[in-house]
Structure 1
Amino acid sequence: MSNPTLRHLTDPKFGKPAKHQNNLLQQLGTPHISSFNYMVDRGLEQAVADIIPVQFEFTNGDKICLKIEEAALSCPLVPVGTIGVKKQVVLPTECRQRAATYKGKFNIKVSWTVNNGKKSYFEKELGEVPIMLKSNRCHLNLMSPKQLVKNGEHEDEWGGYFVVKGHERLVRMLLMTRRNYPLTIKRSSWKERGELFSDVGVSIRCVREDQTAQNNVLHFLTDGSAKFMFIYLKNLYYIPLMIIMKCLCDYTDKFIFEKLTEGHEDDLYYIDCIQNMLRACHLENLHTQEDCKEYVGKLFRVRFLQCPTWYTNQQITDFMLKQCILIHLDNNTDKFNLLVFMTQKLFAFAQDKCKHEGVDSVMMQEILLGGHLYLQILKERLQGWLNNLRLALLKRPKTDSMLPLSSKEVLIAAKHAGTIESSMEQFFATGNVKTATGLGLMQDKGLVIMAENINRMRYMSHFKAVHRGAFFQEMRTTEVRQLLPDAWGFICPVHTPDGAPCGLLNHLTMNCTVTDAPDPVLTKNIPRVLARLGMVPLENYLHENRADSYVTVVDGKVVGYVPVSIAKDLVDNLRLLKIQGKEIPITTEIALLPRKKVTGQYPGLFLFTGPARMMRPLVNLSARNMEFVGTLEQINLDISVTPDEIYKGVTTHMEPSKSSFLSNLAQLIPMPDTNQSPRNMYQCQMGKQTMGTPCHTWSTQAETKIYRLQTPASPLFRPVHYDNIKLDDFPMGTNAVVAVISYTGYDMEDAMIINRSAYERGFAYGSIYKAQFIELDHVDSYFCRDPSLSFLVDYLDTDGLPHPGVPMSESKPMYCYYSAESCRYVVQNFKGKEDCFVDNVRVCGNFNNTRAKKIACIVFRVPRNPTVGDKFASRAGQKGICSQLWPAEDLPFTETGMFYVNYYM
């Protein structure tokens, strides 16, 4: 058998990049890139249109309105006028080497009016913001593998991360509550929200098209009434349900009563509660829509400071309804209809007629993607910049206070309003976000992580990792850590760490995809298709048929009712159209929650088309084609793993493969079905800790610390997935002969001995690369070797920097420079405790400031041999600590003369 380490050397294709990138590897970055592309192509325009105009009044009585009309993000380019630049394009590899940020210019167009007169415009550059690699604003986007290698990247570079200050930063995927779906929750802490509050409620996380999120809760009170909760600037507010419904639409009490009670005419308790809530409004002298609007606006005028002072109370109420109440719906009628549905579901839940759904099951969750979070933060920063512009304008000199506002004053104020560059870069560098609104998040720290490139396994795992949130790590309850049955096929049951993040940090399965924003034309077509298949639209619906129908909700909007008798056929036909993808999006999630004789989920037909949902491919047995299935619709499907498990007339879908429920790393375990299950979990963790081959671009690396195994080998036995993702291109192991024996008769657990001869021949030999950036003390200081010290010739070049390849130990000269502050040469010695070698040296430039201090980067290579105390492990989760090195002659031999490299005791 040939040496596995030489397998590629005999391959004529070795060293030649492939024509196309590996699809399995590209899927790792796809959800991250698609979310960023959505932000640039559609989301940014939607967010700018939704930014609240800033309106205020000057002392002379002029009413000023400031509004952002357009926003644009450019590709990373060298600033115009930079001397000595051959190409204007800035590439990620350059930013990594000089510890810079891969960013592009962000420009806006602002309009301003005086007393609602003619609009005037000006353009403003708000600095440079980070750009995601492989997005449509990145220069690597359409490059072939050959071009990627030529530009200092790997041929299978999948992107999806940001280069910030030289480090690869990845926005963590967080598990969030499913958007635009009212779910029943029982939470004991709700009792503390006020008098009469119970632990029962219906919560909904509303998300607009521009990804702005807002949480609303409809609370059940022990006196039989309901209150609606909304959040504004991190403060919670509660309003009686009927006041909100009366503010939304100018309907009579009779119409509101009939809408709320249709289909529930036999529920006397529910009818009595509705009557009492309507009666309570009249007791407060709130009889009409105008009365309710006037009342609410008067209460909240002091809270909504973003509204101009000349707004009436009714305009304040309209502002609140748009910005805080069911914000995913633009029409007040749609908001009213959804509130009707939420009220019916709330009282059914309070009377134990439907089950608690909760937020801990995967079917009620989706994923917050990096591009969507980026868009939310960017939108809030733009709103803050408009407020800064207002403050700058209000600082006009008193001598000009009575004069009309001029264009020159606006431009000067825009200059003093600052930029958003530093705040955006700080977010990616630290992972912490300062927000006034909360962005609908439960945490403001740990949102961005370092994409650690210790080895290929660890690097891949970051892009499929989903976290429940740092808030839950402090909770003593284990409910959030449980792996429930509905997670099958979406969350890997093997790949999760032990310890504090166990069950909170999970990984998506290999086949699980995160949906992108669908085609808006197909999305708008869904109600028409449903009506064609038998759904009765809301405007044509007869109230007396409500008890025999399923309510139909599309992306949080009530669109009609489906008769129970045709519901199953309608869903089956809808699935066929979904597979074809011509009339409705192929990522449509069709969840029919049927009525059951036992208490279950609140029934209805729910369709979801939005982004950030987890879906996976299954074989639709009726259509004999692949269908994408979501987490909520899977619970009511009958899915077989193999063809032998198919029951005719019962089974609807089949798994594409037996291993489709495993993650990328779990599929790399050799024969996991014959291994102890905890060992499979250990292997997923230990595989990410081993020394391997994290990259091929050693000469252009500037990481703080990076590991390299010098003599890796290709495994003799490997799963199919190992070759599918071309893991041999980044080898991370060594073949060894192992004897498992008990030498003394007593077993020492998890210990091992290594053959000294194998150690001397380079067994498990590795290196550590450490980069050190050196910044001089003054802008006029420069690197130079002191001519008066002749011994420096052996260590430093004429530029004062060390020769590549020279050994370096403590107290040896590392670099020399001329200090402009002290007017003398300064020699700095090496202070490291380990002996090492200088691998490469580079001088870094700075585009933003030509008068910046000079910076050099020195990369050291530290040899690292196996030592006593090092941890070794197989690929099956068996780990051991090296206890000592033994001579070969003292190790056991077989009958054929083969001796063992190492063995466990």
Structure 2
Amino acid sequence: MSVQAARHVCGTYYETTLNPIVQHHVDSFNDLLERRIPVFLRASNPIQLVLDAERAIRIYIGGRDGTKILYRPPVDELENAVTPNICRVENKTYLLDCLVDIDIEYQIDKDTVELVQFEKVTLGQIPLMLRSKYCHLSALTPAEAFEQGEDLHELGGYFIVDGSERILLSQERLGNNLYYAGKRAIQTTVEAEQVGGKTDEEGAGEKYEYYSGLRSVSEDGTRGPYSHYLVIPPESRNISWEEIEMRNEGMAAFGKEPISDYGSTRIRGGIVMTLPGFKIPVPVLSVLALLGVETDKELYDTVLCGIPDRSVYEDFFIQMVMGHQKNLDKGAGTTNLELLRVATKSRSQEEVFYNLQAMLFPHIEIPEGESTADMYRRKAYTLGYMLRLGIDNALGIRAQTDRDHFQFKRFDVSGDLCFQEFRRIYKDTAKAMKLKMDTRVHFEERVYSGKGLATLVQRENVGSFWQSYNFINEFSKAFKGKWGGKDGISQILSRVSLLGTVSQLRRSSLQMDPSVKALGARRLHGSSFGLTCPSDVPDGRNVGMIKHFSLLTHVSTQSESAPLRDILARSENFRPISKINPSTWTAARWTRVRLNGDHVGVLVKNAQDVYAALLAYRRSIAGALVSVAWNRTDNELVIWSDAGRPSRPLYRPGVTPEDVLAKKKWSEMMSTIFDMTDADESESVRIAMTPFSPTTPSEIHGLFLLSPLSAVIPFSDHNPATRTAFSCAQCRQGASWYHSNFNKRFDTITLILNSPQRPICETWVYSHVLGRGGCMPYGENVIVAIATYTGYNQEDSVILNGSAMRRGLFRTSYFHSYVASEELVDQAMGTYKEFANPVGKADVKLKADKDYSKLDENGIIRMGSEVDEDTVLVGMVSAGKVDASVVPKRGQRGIVDGIQMYTLVTATRSSSAENAPPPRVLRGVKVRITESREPILGDKMSSRHGQKGTCGLILPECDMPFTAKGLRPDLILNPHAMPSRMTTGQMFESTSARVGLLLGTLIDATPFCTRSQDEDYRQMLRKIGLEENGSEMMYNGMTGEMMEMEIFVGPTYYLRSKLMVEDKINYRDTGTRTLMTHQPLGGRSVGGGMRIGEMERDALIAHGVSSFIEESFMKRADEHEVLFQSGSGLLDSTQKDEPVDTLRMPYAMSLFVKEMESMHVQPILKAVKE
């Protein structure tokens, strides 16, 4: 029943959830539009420009409350809907218009304020995510979307920018408002101190400094993120007897005896903290003092609140307080305020208090009715908590924070990344608007004096102040370049295979340089269990940095914290932290409550009741992704409602299989069956590994630990983890039906498997991930014999049946699209680069050895034409004389099966003169070439178990071995592949698929089932009359002799990889070369050659191919003639009375001689006559 319930969960999730694969992207983008942008506008209002003591301008974007915002889906000039496929074909950006109301208040003088309002002003345009709320596709049925050029199973979750499909890769980072602590080694130097006539020295060596930190950001996102970093240095003895005597007077506050022995006295000098708004680290105790913690006793109680036994901290506090006092005593009259004042940029007290109020811990929200003193007390408690984390770490009370734990991780998905870019562009645009307004008012002071100021912004010129085009310009730069200054966030969506597309949409990347050898960050952390796939990871330099979300993993969007605060406030046992005096907080039984990192209060008793109320709210629709974790070790109730937390569903205690099977919608399951649990909450509850525990949350099924890509691998629980990882990589590269409407697309390079087949063995996920009902397969069922045969399938090679290939086995269609567009060459002269057939134009010199015969009168190749590398695809003439025709890449062949003409822009008139040519419409064209390819020697094949291999031999069917019933295999695999790779899952697939074929049924190959079905398949084979191990006697197809051993033979699902020999062939005679060294360019795509270095040269010499060596080093690239004077041995012709000869040498040699001469080294050459 548990397996049936788990399968029902899988089917219900994918069939009744909108956009299940890309839900985290779509939800976050919808949240950006519906909540984050309005909240940000409201929090950023007003944009204020102060002109002088009495006059000011205040601009409210989106109205005073920031809610007057309207989104308009993409339309053209005639208000017709612009669909995503139109943008793909015509190289446009799929845009969303953001319209807002703008209220402008003009402060004319102290008593006069004039209000001017503008409705539906363009705030900006941003790229629109497919399948999001305002996308045209969200209102269409699959059939209607198909008619508009989309896939029947369009996933969405990506953007279209200048015709290119772009995805924002989810970014893994350290979360905001999370406290962490640790230590790091530092080098110390010798210290010496003269005390009482004695010198006390301390040796150099390695010591540790301890730190705690926090990255704080406000809930509305307008303030922060600001880094807060506290450092506790090592101990030192740098203290005098006079200072000890001064401090003895205050020892009674700690209940300690006066200090009498200098040798045992140490201090903690300079516990400092890096805070926003201060240019240098500032003393922590100075900050606490300005927050109201003035005496040593208040400091003691604030930092150690809730700890009854404080004796272990007393020595440390003495050292800390004495070290701080020494810093104050360095300057006469130095105060804590003075220490902070000199650390500000303006060196003013006003900036100190502004930093403490607005920039220190911005995540601490200020509720209505709270005084500044209450806010300062809350911040003092928070700073004291950070200090205690560092002290606990220094004293060994608390271990270092494991920042690789997933409770400290957050994932920025598409909506979060777009909000970061939107916020940056908005601030830059607002700053530019204020500058333009100030400049206009300053230089036209007479016009805008008095009430004339209210005429500054009019409906006609509002766009000149608020430059809305900045949004789409900056977004386009970010999508096509570095997003937020970082590479790899914006990527082109892979369209090689459907599985590759799905994998990329579920992928995340760690924000870390791949060259950094941080082993901890790369290792598979136990806290990622159920959240990210342990198998679907790359190898090489990106190992551990690229992760893929598991099947049911959700990434939270931010939810309002107000309902959670109300639940706490309604409890009679809850006390706000701002109302608690530190001297009264000594009870360890008080439960500290943290909400999104903010210490909001304590529960003095009955914390279980509040915990239950929070869990009840979490089971509502609004709070489904809220995390409630009760850390009983530290007696903390930690609540999170922020964005970016990965969470997964678990069965609630007491749920039964009957309860699960009774639910028909995922929303019903979420409200009654599951609790979404993140890594933080997983640390505070017991989770049963077997489903349907009566007392604790429990796992659903082992399949849901995997990503969509690894979850389609059959019997993966019978393979080594490395094979599963390799299989994921092979599946991404397999030829498949990547798109059901591929004939309406013009992808640069892609391929289609002509005759894909549904696998006989499949998992539960297959029919949901690969199209509805599994209608988008990615391989073919082939008969595989595991044997050595002819010796051509040794190592990774396989032998293919040539007759089967002629019948269509693994035949693919390879597509390559070319783009050409007209453009304005010279505006003054009115010349264009335009489409035209150059043949027949007397003043145009045609390209040599190119075929123009297949162009029509407009210069476009005809549909259905056969092409090769010399066929002109698009005829173009530049400036009326130069042939700029487009030809295919080297080695291209095929048939033209798609041509799309489209309009670019209308060029401006070249001149204002009456006889100037009229403006014209510029056009673009895309030409698609298809090529049919059969497997050839060297092409790559792979099973779904990572058994990859290349084609070593293609045999005719008559030469292939056969069984007693005449069955001939399509592929022969070397048996050594099994013991070395241990892919037992492939043996299971072959055996079970054979049973499935004979019984006419599909086989459930889902991993982690309750028991092995090996014996069941054996019995079925025996009943059918076959050998129970799947082996058969076979006969040599060339001699007819019976083979000596039984051969394991059966159907296996194999893939054809996109890696083909035809795409790797590289050759060169002559061609382009570098300007400086005259060497051939590197790379096949630019017509370059392959490098021949010293080792290659030595191998060629050993083979005696001297002419080939001469061609390689001379004729194909840099053969060069120089003038040479044999008498002097110089490459020179200026010396008199010396014969001058010509000498052939590589250009690199002559360049080397010149470089040596530039360093005043004169090479002397000797020529030997042949």
Q: TM-score, normalised by structure 2?
A: 0.66
1:760-799 map, 5 Å? 760-778=806-824, 783-785=835-837, 788=840, 795-799=854-858
Q: Distance in 2 between matches of 1:802 and 1:731?
A: 34
1:283-432 maps to which residues of 2 (within 5 A)?
Answer: 283=329, 296-297=340-341, 299-302=343-346, 313-321=348-356, 324-331=359-366, 332-333=375-376, 334-393=378-437, 395=439, 400=444, 404=448, 406=453, 415=464, 418=467, 419-420=469-470, 421-432=472-483
Residue 467 of structure 1: aligned partner: 509
Partner of 1:673: 717
Structure 1 position 746, deviation (Å): 10
Conserved? CA contact 2:448–2:455, under 8 Å: no
SS, match of residue 466 in structure 1 = strand
1:829-872 deviation per Cα after TM superposition (whole angstroms, max 9, x unaligned): 54542211112111122468785632111122132321211110
Distance 1:67 1:396, change over 3 A: closer
- Structure 1 counterpart of 2:866, from 803, 807, 830: 807
**Paired AA for residue 900 in structure 1:** P
Question: Are 2:501 and 1:484 aligned?
Answer: no
Q: 1:885 to 1:204 in 2, by over 3 A?
A: same
3-state SS of 2:356 partner: helix
Aligned-pair CA distance for 1:788: 4.8
- 8 A Cα contact 1:552 1:559, kept in partner: yes
Question: What amino acid maps onto 2:899 in structure 1?
Answer: V
Secondary structure at the aligned position of 2:398 is classed as coil
Aligned pairs for 1:720-735 within 5 A: 720-727=764-771, 728-735=774-781
Alignment equivalent of 1:573, drawn from 591, 605, 612: 612
CA distance 1:848–1:746, shift in 2 (3 Å): closer
Q: Kindly tell me: are residues 286 and 42 of structure 1, through their superposed partners in 2, closer, same or farther at Cα, counting changes over 3 Å?
A: farther
Q: Distance in 2 between matches of 1:161 and 1:191?
A: 52
Instruction: Kindly provide the CA deviation profile for residues 467-526 of structure 1, in whole angstroms up to 9, marking residues without a partner as x.
Output: 11242x111231111112111111211110111111110111111111122245533324
Counterpart of 1:426, as a letter, is K
User: More deviation in 739-748 or 376-385?
Assistant: 739-748
Q: Pick the aligned partner of 2:227 from 198, 209, 215.
A: 215
Q: Which residue of 1 aligns with 2:942?
A: 873
- Matching residue's letter, 1:422: N
| Aligned partner letter, 2:494 | E
Deviations 1:432-480 (A, max 9, x none): 335xxxxxxxxx2222122212111111111211111242x11123111
Which of 235, 243, 248 is matched with 2:286 structurally?
A: 243
Separation of aligned partners in 2, 1:366 and 1:190? 34
Give the residue type in structure 2 aligned to 1:35: S
2:365 is matched by which residue type in structure 1? D
Equivalent runs, 1:12-51 vs 2, <5 Å: 22-23=15-16, 26-51=19-44
Cα distance, 1:676 vs structure 2: 2.1
Q: Does 1:715 align with 2:759?
A: yes
Please state whether the residue corresponding to 1:769 is helix, strand or coil: strand
Work out whether residues 21 and 145 of structure 1, in 8 Å CA contact, stay in contact via their aligned partners in 2.
no
1:120 CA drift (Å): 5.2
Computing the radius of gyration from Cα coordinates, the structure with the larger value is 2
Given the superposition, is the C-alpha separation of residues 700 and 684 from structure 1 closer, same or farther in structure 2, using an over 3 Å criterion? same
Q: CA deviation at 1:147?
A: 3.0
Return the alpha-carbon distance in structure 2 between the equivalents of residues 510 and 518 of structure 1.
23
The Cα of 1:262 is off from its aligned counterpart by 2.9
Matched-pair contact (CA < 8 Å) for 1:588–1:608: yes
Higher relative contact order (CA 8 A, sep 6+): 1
SS in 2 for 1:36: helix
Q: Which amino acid is the alignment partner of residue 806 of structure 2? A: E
Alpha-carbon distance between aligned partners in 2 of 1:837 and 1:469, rounded to the nearest angstrom: 44
The residue identity in structure 2 corresponding to 1:149 is F
Q: Which amino acid aligns with 1:743?
A: Y
Decide whether aligned partners of structure 1 residues 747 and 765 sit closer, same or farther in structure 2, where only a CA change above 3 A counts: closer
Question: Aligned-pair distance for 1:254?
Answer: 5.2
Matched, 1:591 2:665: no
Does residue 1:737 correspond to 2:778, yes or no? Answer: no
Partner of 1:149: 146
Hey, what's the Cα distance between the residues in 2 that align with 1:189 and 1:377?
A: 38
Instruction: Quote the residue 2:93 is aligned against.
Output: 101
CA distance in 2, matches of 1:470, 1:254: 43
Secondary structure of the residue aligned to 1:517 is: coil
| Structure 1 residue runs without a partner (length 5+) | 1-17, 304-312, 435-443, 596-601
Instruction: Provide the residue aligned with 1:642 in structure 2.
Output: 690
- Kept in 2: contact 1:555–1:610 (CA 8 A): yes
3-state SS of 1:457 partner: helix
Kindly provide the amino acid, as one letter, of the partner of residue 216 in structure 1: H
Q: Give CA deviations for 1:258-281 in whole Å, capped at 9, x if unaligned.
A: 322334443312442564477468
Alpha-carbon distance in structure 1 between the residues aligned to 2:54 and 2:899: 61
Q: Secondary structure at the match of 1:26?
A: coil
| Paired residue secondary structure (1:738) | strand
1:616 aligns with 2:648: yes
Q: Structure 2: which 5+ residue stretches go unaligned? A: 1-10, 190-203, 235-266, 367-374, 657-672, 825-830, 843-849, 909-919, 975-1170
Distance apart, 1:591 and its partner CA: 1.9
Measured on the aligned residues, the alpha-carbon RMSD in Å equals 3.8
Cα distance between partner residues in 1 of 2:497 and 2:186: 44
- How far 1:903 sits from its partner (Å)? 0.8
What does 1:104-119 align with in structure 2 at a 5 Å threshold? Answer: 104-107=96-99, 109=102, 111=104, 113=106, 118=113
1:627 counterpart = 2:675: yes
Q: Secondary structure at the match of 2:734?
A: coil
Judge which range, 135-144 or 608-617, deviates more: 135-144
Distance 1:146 1:745 in 2: 51
SS of 2:226's partner is: strand
CA distance in 1, matches of 2:85, 2:362: 42
SS of residue matched to 1:843: strand
TM-fit CA distance, 1:182 = 1.0
**Residues 28 and 158, structure 1, Cα contact 8 Å, conserved in 2:** yes
CA contact (8 A) 2:561 2:641 kept: no
Q: How far did residue 804 of structure 1 move?
A: 2.1
Q: Secondary structure at the match of 2:228?
A: strand
Q: Which stretch has the larger CA shift, 772-781 or 479-488?
A: 772-781
Selected match of 2:212 from 185, 202, 206:
202
Q: What do the CA deviations read for 1:14-60 (whole angstroms, capped 9, x no partner)?
A: xxxx99984468222211112112221121122224448666666x8
Distance 1:824 1:685 in 2: 46
Q: Residues 640-664 of structure 1, C-alpha deviation per residue, up to 9 Å, x if partnerless? A: 22259x6x8xx62210113221111
Contact 1:522 1:585 in 2 (8 A): no
1:660 equivalent among 690, 695, 704: 704
- 8 A Cα contact 2:691 2:699, kept in partner: no
Alignment counterpart, residue 136 of structure 2, candidates 118, 134, 139: 139
Report SS of the residue matched to 1:659. helix
Shift of 1:163: 0.6
Given residue 927 of structure 2, which amino acid in structure 1 is its aligned partner? I
Deviation at 1:751, TM superposition (A): 1.0
In the alignment, is residue 525 of structure 1 matched against residue 518 of structure 2? no
Aligned-partner residue type, residue 762 of structure 1:
G
Once the two structures are overlaid, the 10-residue window that deviates more, 264-273 or 780-789, is 780-789
State how far apart, in whole Å, the 2-side matches of 1:555 and 1:455 are: 41
Cα distance in 1, alignment partners of residues 188 and 682 from structure 2: 34
